[in-house]
Structure 1
Amino acid sequence: MLHPEFSQSNRQRTTNGSLSRRRLLQILGGSSALFGLGACDGGFSLGGGSDLPPAGAIGQAALLAPLSGSRASIGQIMAATASLGGQPTNLGAEVAVVDAGDDAATAVTAATTAVASGAKMILGPLFSAQARAVAAAVGRNVPVVSLSNDSSIAGGNLFVFGLTPQQSARAVIGFAATRGKRNIAVVVPPGAFGQLAASAAQTSARAFGVTMPAPLTLASADGVVARLKEANSGKLPDAVYLPVVGGPFEAQAGALKAAGVQLLGSEQWGAIAPFRVPALIGGWFAAPDPVRFEAFATALESEAGSEAGIVAGLTFDAVEMARILGRLDRQSRSGLLREAGFDGVLGPYRFTKDGQCERGLAVLSVVQGATTLIGASAA
């Protein structure tokens, strides 16, 4: 199943992405060229392509996208993104784009057809139920790099590539710890995703030596400040992590802001233009580096006429990764686990043996009218 942060992030880029990126660049300055991003003969690339063997003789991969069904609009963005690097969309290409539909059966058919046609690696599908079925169908020797953000499905030949609650929590809680926030609480709404985000926060707190009381699960803002004091020996924590946008989020943020608490947020905050929410001014949240992402976003909008969101960024990074590994004849589990990891438009990342992805994210501060880069985590 697709977690809420995924769909919200993509929707924000569709509605106001260009405006927010331009404003970010005005605040941040700098150039994406610093990260080795640019154009190549076949389209936009991550750079370094001239060091690779020529295409066509070594590896092939397949990108499974929902080109039909209820989520076809997402699939079209994925296909446009894959073509940005000069990738044809037919079977037999370096990275072929095939229709996964929107259920497990259609995804399995697409994957097994691609493997029979020579694909050594599967990119996608987007959704966890499809990804599980595909990984089982293609066998353990074919790595499946799902764009899902459901970290619970990882393992064996199935790798999770989406932006996960663990990545956001690690980035922003780790940064807050360096700023002297050593007692951090987490507040989430009821539901499975909230519990996953709370668990990720607790894991990160332990990793950085941060004291964290038991997470609060609240369906409203009523009594949130009093409940935090009760859970924290009668005093307010140094900061409160609000990772899930929606429901009581804004009301809770307002109550905590009024109490003078430092607010922390996840990648979901980027989906709502947080500078438009008065309670979030001064808050810190995790997100892909906006300067690094800008060159890619501009290229996609110029070449394909599509707004660039998180799904597009994940797609591009996955396609480039597969292309590079293919030319190095390393489209395999060991190739994915290479010690150096990878670099992408969403930041540096590397895969771990348990199928998870460790990703370096930026930390942004919400200021009047914009957000500004204040820190970053390593992959």
Structure 2
Amino acid sequence: MRGMSFRKLVTGATLGISVLLAGCVNSPNYSSVNTPYQPNLDPNMQPGLVSGRTIGNGSVRVGLLLPYSGDGQSATSVATLFENSAKLALEDFQGADIQLLVKDTGGTAEGASLAAQQAISEGAELLIGPVFASAVKGASTVARRSGVPIVAFSSDTNVAKSGTYLLSYLPVSDVNRIVSYAAEQERRSYSALLPNNAYGAVAEAAFRQAVGQTSGRIVAIERYSPGNAEDIRARVSSLSRSISQVDTLFVPEGGGVPPFVMQVMTEMGASLGEVKMIGSGQWNTPDILQSPVMVGSWFPGPDNQSFERLATRYREAFGSQPPRNASLAYDATILAAGLVRSTGPDRFSSRVLTNRDGFLGIDGIFRFQQNGLNNRGLAVYAISGKGDAEPIAPAPRSFTGQF
């Protein structure tokens, strides 16, 4: 199967959004796999009748674990968003031989554990979701005992492990892409302003490694208390003293932080000169894209063309504009359907899911690592000052030569 295109892989799919929605970029050769994949279900437990709602009517059952009764409107909203996206995916994949078993996690570890157990007892061979880190932990404990893999949506890297794969946008991919691009533009000296929290710690580790791999040097790193404007001002003041020694300033947090940093630097009379500010996918928000002080700054992100087509389909079907993360549930669903069609009984084994050639989705290429994290192929954008961003470097089309 090596070299099989996705068009051939999913013959019969309705590729109305894109001819390359999701699936194997270059499918690996599975001819050496002699033992069909089977979850380690309790021998005394036979798959029973499905309870609750389902999506699709295929023969392969897949659990869809979402926080329908989660705490707060945001949890309910993301559950509805992801269910709607999964429905669109099955509409676009004609003849998909999967059935989604819809289960409510309540957004908690306990609820996710029960939801995972119910889905597995009803014959689920793969779990899609949960969304929140605590729920992923709860579901993972149950799924691991049964040998059922999870494709989850949390961005907390602490919950990733073998068999629990994160499809979400992770800091490591952002950092690797933006630093490698900066290096290609012959930028070699860096400072960074990072939030003093779990995200900042992960971003810092990735930043140090990426700069080292590109033979760059880090002049200074400052860490601030998130949401504390005075602390941010103090840390920026410290960075401004050595700004003349760097050509790149890394500020990954989104929201109002990057424009505030530029404002404070200007107020302090720091000579930014040729210093380029770089960031993360968190920058892709109106307050940053419309900020005049951010014009020319760079950040990484997925290719938007396929998502715009998905967003149009979503608006037509459900009457609202979907958030950017709608693609996650869409890609997870089509990935499941594509693997069922292309790889037979070995479909959800670790060997298949961690194929180094990866898969192609709405957001471009992605692949799962053995430790549950992912790599993504991202584009690079420059803020235009017109409320949008211009692509200045395309996303890679394969992982050949990539990290």
Normalising by structure 2, report the TM-score.
Answer: 0.75
1:309–1:57 distance in 2 versus 1, CA, 3 Å: closer
Q: Over residues 163-214 of structure 1, what are the superposed CA-to-partner deviations in whole Å (9 max), with x where a residue is unaligned?
A: 0111111111111110111112211133332222222211221222221234
CA distance, structure 1, for counterparts of residue 378 and residue 14 of structure 2: 29
Q: Secondary structure at the match of 1:310?
A: coil
Residue 73 of structure 1 corresponds to: 77
Q: Which has the higher helix share?
A: 1
Pairwise CA distance, 1:352: 1.1
Trace 1:1-379 onto structure 2 (pairs within 5 A).
41=14, 47=20, 59-69=60-70, 70=72, 71-86=75-90, 93-139=98-144, 141-218=147-224, 219-222=231-234, 224=236, 226-230=238-242, 235-246=244-255, 248-256=257-265, 259-260=272-273, 261-327=275-341, 328-329=343-344, 330-369=347-386, 370-378=388-396, 379=399
Distance 1:324 1:255, change over 3 A: same
Contact 2:364/2:377 (8 A) holds in 1: yes
State how far apart, in whole Å, the 2-side matches of 1:279 and 1:254 are.
Answer: 7
Q: Taking every aligned residue pair, what percent have the same amino acid on both sides? A: 26
Deviation at 1:377? 4.8
Instruction: Identify the range of structure 1 (204-213 vs 361-370) with the bigger mean alpha-carbon deviation.
Output: 204-213
Q: Which amino acid aligns with 1:355?
A: G
Write the deviation string for residues 225-254 of structure 1: whole angstroms up to 9, x where unpaired. 553544x7xx33111011012464322123
Number of residue pairs matched?
Answer: 336
CA distance in 1, matches of 2:168, 2:23: 28
Secondary structure of 2:134's counterpart equals: helix
Shift of 1:98: 2.2
Measured at CA, do residues 377 and 225 of structure 1 come closer, stay the same or move farther in structure 2, by a change above 3 Å? Answer: farther
What do residues 75-94 of structure 1 show as CA deviations (whole Å, max 9, x unaligned)?
Answer: 01111111112369xxx953
Task: Could you tell me which runs of 5 or more consecutive residues in structure 1 were left unpaired when the two chains were aligned.
Answer: 1-35
1:223 Cα deviation after fit: 6.2
Paired residues of 2:256 and 2:287 also in contact (CA < 8 A): no
List per-residue Cα deviations over 1:48-70 (Å, max 9, x = no partner): 8999xxx9666331121112232
Checking the alignment, whether the CA contact within 8 Å between 1:46 and 1:345 is kept in structure 2 is no
User: Is the 2:277–2:297 Cα contact (8 Å) retained in structure 1?
Assistant: yes
Please state how far the C-alpha of 1:95 moved relative to its aligned partner.
2.9
Q: Secondary structure at the match of 1:212?
A: strand
| CA deviation map 1:287-316 (0-9, x unaligned) | 111223211111111122232223211111
Task: Give the structure 2 partner of residue 21 of structure 1.
Answer: none
- For residue 217 of structure 2, give the secondary structure of its aligned residue in structure 1: coil
Instruction: Pick which of 57-66 and 120-129 moved more.
Output: 57-66
- 1:294 is aligned with what amino acid? E
Rounded to whole Å, the distance in 2 between the matches of 1:223 and 1:112 is 48
- TM-score, normalisation: structure 1: 0.80
When residues 197 and 144 of structure 1 are mapped into structure 2, their CA distance, relative to the original with a 3 A threshold, is: same
- Partner amino acid for 2:391? L
